[in-house]
């Protein structure tokens, strides 16, 4: 019998993004120069420091959120709960330049404790962050935020993951899953 060993081979960026899925999908809330809140969907984010607690987000230079972050160097990073998936998807596919994503996405604002952008009600977890550093990263800018407050909704544990940029899946911290 001819047994083929598992083979690691060169694949495209696109295929790698699919194969490496799912990725945690988050929403970053910012404010624009008119103090209007905007939300962007992000797959490119990560925790970067334990002490002080820090989170980095990578935002495309053409995004409205980039403009917002250049105006106010603060953001709220929210894990949308699975029941917020339609609004969460809108935030990743529509620009806030001409759309009120809070309204269109069915989100409700709650005041944050330490930063100007609001929290999203019903998010599984929300981190208030102050940008302490930025790095140019090709067509994106990396914003490194220090976490200044943390909120959670334990009643809504299931939050969203993306399969490439094509669909979402809901998963909680116990591993309970739902594919949409």
Ligand X SMILES: Cc1cc2nc3c(=O)[nH]c(=O)nc-3n(C[C@H](O)[C@H](O)[C@H](O)COP(=O)(O)O)c2cc1C
Kindly list the residues in this chain that would bind ligand X in the complex (CB under 6 A).
25, 38, 40-44, 58-60, 63-65, 92-97, 140, 162, 165
Residue closer to ligand X by CB (options 124, 162) is 162
Q: What is the DSSP letter of 36?
A: -
| Shortest reach from residue 61's CB to ligand X, in Å | 8
| Shortest reach from residue 46's CB to ligand X, in Å | 10
Q: What is the DSSP letter of 20?
A: T
Residue closer to ligand X by CB (options 104, 172) is 104
And the tokens for 48?
């970067």
| Shortest reach from residue 25's CB to ligand X, in Å | 5
143 within 8 A of 134, measured Cβ to Cβ: yes
Residue closer to ligand X by CB (options 2, 93) is 93
Identify the bridge partners of residue 129 per DSSP, sorted by sequence position.
75, 147
What gap in Å lies between CA 77 and CA 55, rounded to an integer? 9
């Amino acid at each position: 019998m001819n047994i083929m060993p598992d083979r690691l081979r060169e694949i495209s960026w696109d295929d790698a993004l699919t194969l490496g899925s799912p990725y945690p999908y988050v929403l970053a809330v910012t404010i624009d120069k008119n103090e209007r809140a905007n939300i962007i969907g992000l797959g490119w984010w990560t925790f970067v420091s334990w002490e002080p607690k820090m989170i980095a987000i990578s935002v495309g230079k053409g995004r409205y959120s980039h403009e917002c972050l250049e105006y106010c160097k603060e953001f709220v990073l929210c894990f949308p709960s699975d029941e917020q998936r339609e609004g969460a998807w809108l935030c990743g596919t529509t620009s806030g330049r001409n759309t009120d994503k809070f309204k269109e996405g069915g989100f409700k604002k709650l005041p944050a404790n330490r930063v100007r952008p609001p929290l999203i009600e019903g998010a599984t977890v929300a981190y208030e962050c102050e940008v302490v550093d930025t790095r140019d990263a090709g067509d994106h800018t990396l914003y490194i935020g220090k976490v200044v407050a943390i909120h959670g909704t334990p009643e809504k544990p299931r939050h969203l993951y993306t399969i490439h940029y094509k669909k979402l899946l809901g998963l909680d911290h116990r591993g309970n899953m739902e594919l949409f």
